[in-house]
Amino acid sequence: MAFTAPPAGLWQAVRLALGTASALGFARFAYGLLLPAMRDDLDWTLAQAGAVGAANGLGYLLGALLTTALVRRLGMASAFRVGMALTAASLVTTAVSGDYLVLLAVRTLSGTTGAVVFIAGGVLASRAATGASTMPITVYFAGTGLGIMISGVTVPLLGPHWRLAWVGLGVAAALATLASWTAAGGDDERQATAGRARLRPLLVPALAYLLFAAGYIAYITFLSTYLADRQAPVVQVVLTWTVLGTAVAAAPAVWSRPIAEWPGTRALATLLAVLAGGATLALASSATPVALASALAYGATFMGVPAAITALIRAHTPAVDWAATLAVFTTVFAAGQTAGPWLAGLVADHTSTAAPLEWTAVLCTAAAAIALVGRPAATDHHPQSIKGAGS
C-alpha cells in the first residue's frame, strides 16, 4: 500500500489548534460546565448567568476590534503567543473572587485575549495550508474539541468546587501556550501587515454568521443547566460533554472535503442545518441516548462553521487582507455571542431551561436558510498558494 503524505502544514495546524482548545474550549465553553455550581454558590438568576457569558462575548468584540492594530504592532505570531499567555492568566484569575462585577471584568478579559488567539491562529493556519486544501483550517478549529473533552471529563467531577476548576483550566491553558509557542513561527514583514477588510463579497455569509453566533452559544452555555434541571446524573453530563468534544475533534474528517470542494455557501448551509437539528434533538428528550446523539451532531458541526467562514474568506480575498477580514467577521461573531446568552437566559427566566436550546434551533435554522439562498458575490480574486503568501 502506497504511503500518502499528510497535507503540508498539518503538524503546524495541530499545534496551533491548542489555541482554540485554550481560547474556546477552556476560556469560552467550559463556563457552561461550571455554570450550575457557580449559579448555586453565588445565587444567580439565569439572566445573570447569561450576562457573565455575554461578558465573554463582549470581550471577543473588543478583542476583534483590537487585533488588527495588535498584529500591525507585534506581528501575527507574537499576537498569537501574547493572546495565549494572557488567556491562561485570565482563567486562573477567575477563581480569585466571587464578586459579580469582578467576574464580569475577568470574563471580558478572557474573551478579549481569546479573540486575539482566534484571529491570529486562524490566519496562521490558513497560511499553513497549500493550494485548495482546507485541512489545516479545519484541524485548527477542531482543537476546540480537545478543550471541551478535557473540561468535560474533569470539571463535573469537581462538583461545587468551581474555583479549583478555573485554576485547573488556567494551568491547562498555560501548558497549551508552551506547547504551541513555536508553531506560530516568526513575524516577517508580510505577516506584520494586516491589510484591509473585504466584506462586500461576503455579506450573505456575514449575516448567517451573526445569527449562528447569537444562536449556537445558548446551547453550549445552558446545556449543563438544562440537564441538571432534569436530574441528569453527573456521569451523563460527563459523557455528554465528552461526546461533544470528541465530535468537535473528529469534525475535520467529515467536513474538510465539503468545505474545500462544495460550491458557494452550500457547506455552510449544511453545517447550520445539522446544528439546528442537533439542538432540536436535545429538546425531544433529556434521556442519555438522546442527549448523546444531540451532542454528537452538535459537536460534529458547530466549529465547522468558523472553518467554513475562514475558507470563504480565503477564497474571496487576497492573502494580505485575511487578518483584517477575519477580524471583521470575528467582530460580527462576537456581537452575536455577546447578545445571545443574555437574551436566551432572560427568556429562560420567564419560561424554562429548555428555552435556550429552542433559541439555538430557531436562529441556526434561519442562518441555514440565509446561507442556502445566498452566495458570495463574484470577485476577481483567485485563491493562491497560502504557503507562498504567508512565508
pLDDT of residue 334: 83
Does 95 fall in a domain? yes
Quick check: is 388 in a domain?
A: no
* H or E element, residue 191: none
What are 60-97's pLDDT values in tens digits? Answer: 889 988 888 898 888 889 999 999 999 999 999 999 99
345 assigned to some structural domain: yes
d(CA 168, CA 182): 23
- Which residue, 227, 338, 245, is CA-closest to 288? 227
C-alpha grid cell, residue 367: 442562518
Q: Is 99 helix (H, G, I), strand (E, B) or coil?
A: coil
Flag whether 5 is in a domain: no
| Whole-angstrom distance, CA of residue 360 vs CA of residue 40 | 24
Asked, for residue 389, whether it belongs to a domain, the answer is no
Residue 297's CATH number: 1.20.1250.20
In a domain, 385, yes or no: no
Query: Closest Cα to residue 152, out of 52, 246, 215, 225?
Result: 246
- What is the distance, to the nearest Å, from the Cα of residue 349 to the centroid of all Cα atoms in its chain? 26
Nine-digit cell string for 385: 498558494
Give the separation between CA 87 and CA 108, rounded to whole angstroms: 11
The pLDDT of residue 6:
53
All residue ranges of the chain with pLDDT < 50 are 1-5, 189-193, 382-391
Query: In the structure grid, which three cell numbers stand for residue 43, read together?
Result: 445565587
Instruction: Give the model confidence (pLDDT) of 118-150 as tens digits.
Output: 889 988 887 776 655 667 778 888 899 899 999
Residues 6+ apart with CB under 8 A from 146: 17, 18, 21, 25, 245, 249
Domain range for 267 is 10-379
Provide the pLDDT for residue 215.
93
C-alpha cell read off for 282: 436535545
Cβ atoms of 154 and 31 within 8 Å: the answer is no
Sign, CA torsion 162/166/171/175: positive
Domain presence at residue 305:
yes
Domain tally for the chain? 1
* 341 contacts 50 by C-beta, under 8 angstroms: yes
Give the model's pLDDT for residue 190: 46
- ∠ Cα 386 268 176 (to 5°): 55
Helix H or strand E encompassing 314: helix 304-316
